[in-house]
Chain A
Amino acid sequence: MNWELFASSFWPIVLGGLKGTIPLALVSFAIGLVLALGVALLRLSKNPLLAWLGRAYVSVIRGTPLLVQLFVIFYGLPSLGVTIDPWPSAVVAFSLNVGGYAAEVIRAAILSVPQGQWEAAYTVGMSRTRALRRIVLPQAARVSVPPLSNTFISLVKDTSLASLILVAEAFRQAQVIASATFDYMLLYLEAALVYWLFCTVLSFAQTRLERRLERYV
């Protein structure tokens, strides 16, 4: 084991995580959640066409590999005259992906709010939109924190795929050092360690957040 190499490459990989992986995951997750809410509402719509649209979206996203989605956007779109830089390409791909997966979580969370809550909202005079915003979504949000946290943690790991379109994130840093030193085992294990550290911290934050929310539900 080359401890010297391990020590000297640790910080660059962590930095790749802090400057590449985490911002990429955060931005994609934020955009993805907005998208997911829209898709969830489409799926819950009484209009069959809108509901079908939502279902089709979820089906396509969940039925195709994330890597393929990423390549279609980065390598495929230029042939249609749309060229996007690596980082925004990755954001688009991951946001669309989160949009599909989180939509199902949000839909289930909305459905888990008892019908009586809608009815109570209606009887105090609310419209459907207001009932959704003031009464149902806050309750659904609490229910969806654990599964959405899992979605986020998965996303953090999935962003390593962006290394394939040369986005400078944690795994890309490990690859660069590995290809110069030929110590693939060491560098890739080190990358795994860094991801594991990140995800452990996130799991810890998730537990804290869930415990705080338990107080209300």
Chain B
Amino acid sequence: MSDTLLTARGIRKAFGDHEVLRGVDLDVRRGQVVALIGPSGSGKTTMLRSLNGLETPSAGTLEVSGGPALDFSRPVTQRERHALRDRSAMVFQQHNLFPHMTVLQNVMEGPVQVRRVPRAQAQQRALELLDRVGLADKRDAYPRQLSGGQQQRVGIVRALALSPDLLLFDEPTSALDPELVGEVLTVMKELAEEGWTMVVVTHELSFARAVADEVLFLDGGVVLERGAPAQIFSAPREERTRQFLHRLLNPLD
């Protein structure tokens, strides 16, 4: 289809002798929300990081609409890596905000320093985005003065300010206190409703069920099962998927 944003085929990644990804395919259409779930060590974070060049796969191809077509069987140039990163923005597990900059500076840094957006325009956009997540009054605060949930919302705004085609989320709520998870998930849900294209690595099954269009269950570096959330969560085909979901939903069993 013409609205395909990202196509990854046969992505493999090895760290030394250990093969973390063993041939993963991923298609993301514009406006789609894809959730990657699976046990730790399943390769889901490595897969996500491969999509913006934070990891360089050892094999496979990755094509981004309006961006580069990469073949990882040959060396990736710095130029290709930048072209790839230009299409996406990432929200990290540990927000990774720049501690020496205020909230506003954090959000404006990419647009002003890299994208060469005029300062006034970048600031206006940053303030609009901060206002949307309810943090306009924190514009001059430093990251360490914010709660975990606020930090992560600023992390999301920093990503949005780049106007990326694709938003990548790497377990955005895993490092948060339980009572702060909701405010971050709410923002992410709104983004999905607005039509942002998102790939989300998450352990929040209720979020994946409610928001994702497609869920991929990764285990041992391969996609064991993929489908609509209703199917994956209600009628998983694979025994491993069933076990994983059961463990997550009934941790005391």
A125 is contacted by which of B54, B115, B144 (Cβ under 8 Å)?
B115
Report the nearest A residue to B98, measured CB to CB.
Answer: A135
Rounded to whole angstroms, the CA-CA distance of A180 and B142 in the bound complex is 60
Instruction: Judge whether B113 and A126 touch: CB under 8 Å.
Output: yes
A62 on the B face (CB < 8 A)? no
B92 on the A face (CB < 8 A)? yes
- Contacting residues of chain B (1-58) with chain A, CB-CB under 8 angstroms: 52-54
A96-123 near B? 1/0 per residue, CB < 8 Å: 0000000000000000001011011111
Chain A min CB distance to B8 (Å): 18
A3 / chain B contacts, CB cutoff of 8 Å: none
Instruction: Judge whether B100 and A125 touch: CB under 8 Å.
Output: no
B90 / chain A contacts, CB cutoff of 8 Å: 119-120, 123
Instruction: Judge whether B100 and A123 touch: CB under 8 Å.
Output: no
**Chain B count of residues within 8 A CB distance of the other chain:** 27
A19 on the B face (CB < 8 A)? no
Rounded to whole angstroms, the CA-CA distance of A99 and B96 in the bound complex is 31
Report the nearest A residue to B168, measured CB to CB.
Answer: A123
Instruction: Judge whether B96 and A116 touch: CB under 8 Å.
Output: yes
B110 / chain A contacts, CB cutoff of 8 Å: 124-126
- Contacting residues of chain B (37-85) with chain A, CB-CB under 8 angstroms: 52-54, 78, 82, 85
Report the nearest A residue to B52, measured CB to CB.
Answer: A123
- Contacting residues of chain A (195-214) with chain B, CB-CB under 8 angstroms: none
B182 on the A face (CB < 8 A)? no
B146-175 near A? 1/0 per residue, CB < 8 Å: 000000000000110010000000000000
Instruction: Judge whether A216 and B100 touch: CB under 8 Å.
Output: yes
- Contacting residues of chain B (78-125) with chain A, CB-CB under 8 angstroms: 78, 82, 85-86, 88-90, 92, 94, 96-100, 109-110, 113-115
B53 / chain A contacts, CB cutoff of 8 Å: 122
Residues of B that sit less than 8 Å from A by CB: 52-54, 78, 82, 85-86, 88-90, 92, 94, 96-100, 109-110, 113-115, 142, 144, 158-159, 162
Smallest CB-CB A-B distances: 5 pairs: A124-B110, A125-B114, A120-B96, A116-B96, A123-B90
